[in-house]
């Protein structure tokens, strides 16, 4: 939107019509947060989110732990200490907007204090800017007549005519025919200034096609303005070209290379700025060079194989070279960088050059080798790893045999296996899933796991060689998994959604059975359904496990908070929409200190705010990575207006690496694994809480596990059993030194630990996580 403001300032200078943009400038703030997001609006530091009797009395020294950034549409609340850069002298060009006159009707003084949601889809706006919405309120369903009072490129202000209620909606959420009809009603089609104002409005709103049509109409009807229109169209062309280039960069990052390359070849050049065309040429040249390199690689590999026709290893090489050639894409081409750099080296033999290509393909260019036999062993190990991960849950003897074969391969130890695991293709079949198509995947019942299913939608040009972020979407009490997936995140084959555009895989688990349709039950079985869906998706598709997000509406928002705090090591962030911080969540709140949270609700969903305010205040005061968005005058809603901000936020988040100290709380036997620390057998008095009638305060079991610089793991826990997954990395276990383990100040282990291939593979097989590897496991108790 910043670019649109800049464009419109240029337009105002060109056409010299003050009424088009107005002469006002708002002094606001631009706040960049530590998580990378930038919020713009009127900024205020506040003491509390509590109101009324709950609001605490001010102390002798005022404390302002919260920063509120307000716009007419939404207010954002963030912890004061999450601010990184604050610029309080931001000039916002302000379009004065289009004002609509609305008249109050009978009953217009009745105040809407809280809203429980829409009972049905709102009617469309008529040309006067009016529509009827049917709200669920405490005394039942009420028809409310809304009238638009102001239209701006970012939002529409609405006023209830038969109640006292004001709110706003995003301009992008209003269908263009309705928006255009309202604009025509409040302007004079014979007034060129007003027609120009409409054209500028459309440019600011990013609606370029109607802006172009409006300018063409002005050119035809008002020939005396041809010079002005020509200049305005030039500015519009720049805006369109910049927007198109930004879109192509987004799609490129999402792995949609064919779409980007085709669009670059058709990129408009007339009246486009030189700097934009230079970027287009550079991107096009990069794709063409990559295509040429791929053709050269395929041809050169064939030539090298031909030079080895007398070598008995050719029978092994041929199918590997064929697989490499068939699967070579723009995304996988960097695996051959070492081969490209040394393919012309006259001192390397043909078999050594082939080894560089074959090994680089499976362990990455930086780990490529020149010894052909070693490269062939790496491919053997790769196939064995896939067999291991594809084995049935009860096929223990098969897995033991595979491990024996792996351990017999010379030079293929834990380090090499970790490199191979990182480059593996998905172990499971995609089950018929294809881009933009919703597919239901059934998961069989296994030990301690009920039969379940989830829906999946893949992004455009999904390819198993490109790693994708994952959204786990939990539906509301009124919705279904397919509706959550298609209606908010993923779209359909006919109408693609934002997840396809941004390159995200979305899964929607069937986490609530019809028998439990009344709501989310906070049960361990429900958690397990969601976790198994995630694990299956990680094995079935190329998911970046460091960028998994949990999101949900309504009861799905409740579940998002509960599950996110119960399993914080799985997620880069959580997005609860209309979600309650309830039951297990308040005692678990500290579990989320390393978890990024983007929470959304409506201002008039007061019951929800009353339930959440204490926990939200704790999160603000304790400097959580939190954005709390409250939509002005709104009750429960989908809040689709926030979708672009959500994807911007997700693009900046990644799961934190395994910490060297873990402080967690648990009340359920299944909330028992946190990064590298796992436990079981929590005290019986912490289980089976009656949440409907709690006779006492809830106190969760606190557990602590810490790795010291002296290579000692200290554990404080009242659980009966502990399992330590040993990870390597800064501040973690050093396998070259003796490891000590102490539980409740008692030493239980003091010895050297060797990397364990079985532990590494078993964790990947069970959890599907190929980004966070574990090199050994120790168990204590029972």
Strand, coil or helix: what is 331? coil
Report the alpha-carbon distance of residue 590 to residue 654 in Å, rounded.
Answer: 19
Confidence band (pLDDT; 50, 70, 90) for 11?
Answer: very low
| Residue 447, pLDDT above cutoff 60 | yes
β-partners of residue 452 are: 443
Confidence at residue 90, expressed as pLDDT on a 0 to 100 scale = 63
Report the alpha-carbon distance of residue 541 to residue 82 in Å, rounded.
Answer: 34
Confidence at residue 96, expressed as pLDDT on a 0 to 100 scale = 66
Confidence at residue 18, expressed as pLDDT on a 0 to 100 scale = 30
Report the alpha-carbon distance of residue 207 to residue 365 in Å, rounded.
Answer: 45
The pTM score is 0.94
Report the alpha-carbon distance of residue 631 to residue 720 in Å, rounded.
Answer: 46
Contact 117, 136 (CB under 8 A): yes
| Residue 334, pLDDT above cutoff 80 | yes
Indicate the pairing of strand 712-716 with strand 721-726: unpaired
Region 261-277: mean pLDDT is 95
Report the alpha-carbon distance of residue 98 to residue 549 in Å, rounded.
Answer: 39
Per-residue DSSP letter, 749: E
| Residue 682, pLDDT above cutoff 60 | yes
| Residue 611, pLDDT above cutoff 70 | yes
The string of pLDDT tens digits covering residues 414-434 is 999 999 999 999 999 999 999
Confidence at residue 515, expressed as pLDDT on a 0 to 100 scale = 63
Residue 350 CB contacts under 8 Å (≥ 6 apart), including other chains: 304, 307, 308
Report the alpha-carbon distance of residue 254 to residue 248 in Å, rounded.
Answer: 10
Contact 727, 658 (CB under 8 A): yes
Look over the chain and give the mean of its residue pLDDT values, rounded to a whole number: 91
Region 638-661: mean pLDDT is 97
Confidence at residue 461, expressed as pLDDT on a 0 to 100 scale = 96
Confidence band (pLDDT; 50, 70, 90) for 566?
Answer: very high
Region 543-558: mean pLDDT is 98
Confidence at residue 28, expressed as pLDDT on a 0 to 100 scale = 74
| Residue 698, pLDDT above cutoff 90 | no
Confidence at residue 8, expressed as pLDDT on a 0 to 100 scale = 40
Q: Which domains does the chain have, with CATH numbers?
A: 2-93 (no CATH), 101-185 (no CATH), 301-422 (no CATH), 439-656 (3.40.50.1820), 666-780 (no CATH)
Confidence at residue 692, expressed as pLDDT on a 0 to 100 scale = 79
Of 48-52, 63-67, 192-196, 506-510, least confident by mean pLDDT is 48-52
CA 771, chain centre distance (Å): 17
- Measured CA angle at 100 (ends 94, 101), to 5 deg: 135
Region 264-289: mean pLDDT is 96
Which two structure tokens, joined as six digits, stand for 448? Answer: 């301690």
Region 267-279: mean pLDDT is 95
Report the alpha-carbon distance of residue 319 to residue 695 in Å, rounded.
Answer: 68
Burial annotation 400-413 (CB, 10 A radius, 16+ → b, else e): eebbeebeebeebe
Report the alpha-carbon distance of residue 131 to residue 123 in Å, rounded.
Answer: 6
Region 654-673: mean pLDDT is 96
Rg of the chain over all Cα atoms, to the nearest angstrom: 30
Of 385, 359, 363, 393, nearest to 373 by C-alpha is 359
Which two structure tokens, joined as six digits, stand for 630? Answer: 């409250």
Which two structure tokens, joined as six digits, stand for 336? Answer: 């051959």
Confidence band (pLDDT; 50, 70, 90) for 782?
Answer: low
Q: Is 606 exposed, middle or buried, given 0-12, 13-18 or 19+ CB atoms closer than 10 A?
A: middle
Of 105-119, 459-473, 557-571, least confident by mean pLDDT is 105-119
Confidence at residue 449, expressed as pLDDT on a 0 to 100 scale = 66
CA 574, chain centre distance (Å): 9
DSSP string, 83-130: EEEEEEEEEEE----EE------TTTT-B------BSSPPPPP-TTSE
Per-residue DSSP letter, 486: I
Confidence at residue 324, expressed as pLDDT on a 0 to 100 scale = 94
Report the alpha-carbon distance of residue 486 to residue 439 in Å, rounded.
Answer: 11
Report the alpha-carbon distance of residue 619 to residue 292 in Å, rounded.
Answer: 53
Of 27-41, 300-314, 540-554, 714-728, least confident by mean pLDDT is 27-41
The string of pLDDT tens digits covering residues 595-607 is 999 999 999 987 8
| Residue 27, pLDDT above cutoff 70 | no
Out of 106-115, 198-207, 372-381, the most confident range is 372-381
The string of pLDDT tens digits covering residues 125-153 is 999 999 999 988 777 788 999 999 999 99
User: What does the CA dihedral 199, 200, 204, 205 come to, rounded to 10 degrees?
Assistant: -30
The string of pLDDT tens digits covering residues 703-761 is 999 999 999 999 999 999 999 999 999 999 999 999 999 999 999 999 999 999 999 99
| Residue 361, pLDDT above cutoff 70 | yes
Report the alpha-carbon distance of residue 663 to residue 703 in Å, rounded.
Answer: 6
Region 268-292: mean pLDDT is 96
């Amino acid at each position: 939107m910043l670019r649109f403001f800049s464009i419109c300032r240029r337009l105002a200078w060109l056409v010299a019509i003050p009424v088009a943009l107005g002469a006002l400038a708002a002094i606001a703030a631009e706040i960049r947060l530590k998580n990378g997001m930038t919020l713009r609006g009127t900024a205020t530091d506040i003491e509390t989110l509590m109101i009324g009797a709950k609001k605490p009395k001010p102390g002798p020294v005022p404390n302002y732990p919260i920063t509120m950034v307000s716009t007419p549409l939404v207010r954002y609340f963030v912890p004061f200490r999450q601010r990184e850069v604050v610029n309080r002298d931001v000039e916002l060009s302000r379009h004065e907007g289009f004002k609509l006159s609305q008249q109050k009707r009978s009953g217009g003084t009745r105040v809407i204090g809280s809203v429980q949601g829409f009972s049905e889809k709102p009617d469309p706006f008529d040309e006067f800017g009016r529509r009827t919405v049917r709200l669920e309120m405490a005394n039942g369903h009420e028809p409310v007549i809304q009238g638009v009072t102001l239209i701006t490129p970012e939002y529409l202000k609405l006023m209830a005519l038969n109640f006292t209620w004001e709110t706003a909606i995003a301009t992008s959420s209003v269908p263009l025919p309705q928006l255009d009809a309202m604009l025509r009603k409040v302007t004079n089609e014979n007034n060129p200034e007003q027609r120009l104002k409409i054209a500028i409005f459309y440019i600011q709103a990013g609606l370029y096609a109607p802006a172009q049509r409006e300018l063409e109409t002005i050119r035809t009807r008002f020939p005396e303005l041809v010079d002005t229109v020509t200049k305005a169209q030039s500015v519009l062309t720049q805006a369109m070209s910049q927007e198109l280039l930004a879109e192509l960069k987004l799609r490129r990052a999402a792995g949609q290379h064919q779409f980007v390359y085709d669009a670059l070849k058709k990129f408009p050049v007339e009246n486009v700025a030189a700097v934009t065309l230079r970027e287009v040429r550079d991107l096009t040249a990069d794709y063409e060079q990559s295509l040429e390199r791929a053709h050269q690689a395929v041809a050169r590999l064939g030539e090298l194989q031909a030079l080895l026709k007398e070598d008995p290893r050719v029978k092994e090489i041929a199918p590997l070279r064929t697989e490499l050639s068939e699967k070579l894409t723009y995304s996988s081409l960097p695996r051959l960088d070492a081969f490209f750099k040394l393919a012309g080296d006259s001192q390397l033999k043909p078999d050594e050059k082939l080894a560089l290509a074959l090994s680089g393909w499976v362990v990455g260019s930086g780990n490529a080798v020149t010894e052909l036999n070693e490269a062939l062993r790496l491919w053997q190990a790769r196939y064995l790893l896939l067999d291991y991960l594809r084995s049935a849950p009860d096929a223990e003897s098969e897995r033991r045999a595979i491990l024996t074969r792996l351990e017999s391969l010379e030079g293929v130890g834990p380090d090499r296996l970790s490199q191979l695991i990182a480059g593996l293709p998905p172990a499971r079949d995609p089950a018929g899933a294809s881009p933009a198509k919703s597919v239901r995947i059934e998961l069989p019942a296994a030990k301690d796991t009920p039969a379940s299913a989830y829906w999946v939608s893949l992004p455009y040009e999904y390819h198993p060689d490109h790693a994708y972020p994952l959204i786990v979407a939990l539906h509301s009490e009124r919705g279904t998994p397919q509706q959550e997936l298609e209606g908010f995140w993923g779209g359909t084959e006919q109408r693609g959604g934002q997840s396809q555009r941004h390159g995200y895989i979305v899964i929607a688990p069937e986490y609530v059975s019809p028998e439990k349709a009344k709501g989310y039950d906070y049960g361990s079985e429900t958690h397990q359904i969601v976790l198994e869906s995630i694990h299956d998706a990680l094995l079935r598709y190329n998911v970046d496990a460091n960028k998994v997000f949990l999101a949900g509406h309504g009861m799905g928002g409740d579940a998002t908070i509960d599950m996110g705090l119960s399993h914080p090591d799985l997620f880069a962030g959580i997005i609860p929409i209309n979600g309650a911080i309830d039951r297990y969540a308040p005692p678990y709140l500290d579990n989320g200190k390393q978890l990024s949270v983007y929470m959304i609700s409506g201002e008039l969903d007061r019951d929800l705010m009353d339930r959440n305010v204490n926990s939200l205040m704790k999160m603000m005061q304790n400097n959580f990575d939190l954005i709390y968005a409250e939509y002005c005058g709104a009750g429960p809603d989908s809040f689709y207006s926030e979708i672009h901000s959500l994807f911007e936020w997700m693009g900046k988040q990644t799961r934190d690496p395994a910490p060297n100290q873990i402080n967690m709380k648990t009340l359920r036997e299944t909330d028992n694994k946190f990064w590298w620390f796992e436990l079981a057998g929590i005290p019986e008095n912490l289980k089976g809480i009656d949440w409907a009638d709690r006779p006492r305060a809830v106190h969760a079991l606190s557990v602590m596990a810490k790795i010291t610089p002296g290579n000692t793991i200290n554990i404080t826990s009242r659980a009966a059993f502990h399992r330590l997954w040993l990870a390597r990395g800064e501040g973690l276990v050093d396998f070259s030194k003796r490891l000590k383990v102490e539980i409740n100040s008692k030493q239980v282990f003091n010895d050297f630990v060797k990397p364990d291939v079985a532990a590494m593979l078993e964790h990947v097989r069970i959890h599907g996580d190929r980004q966070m590897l574990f090199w050994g496991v120790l168990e204590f108790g029972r």
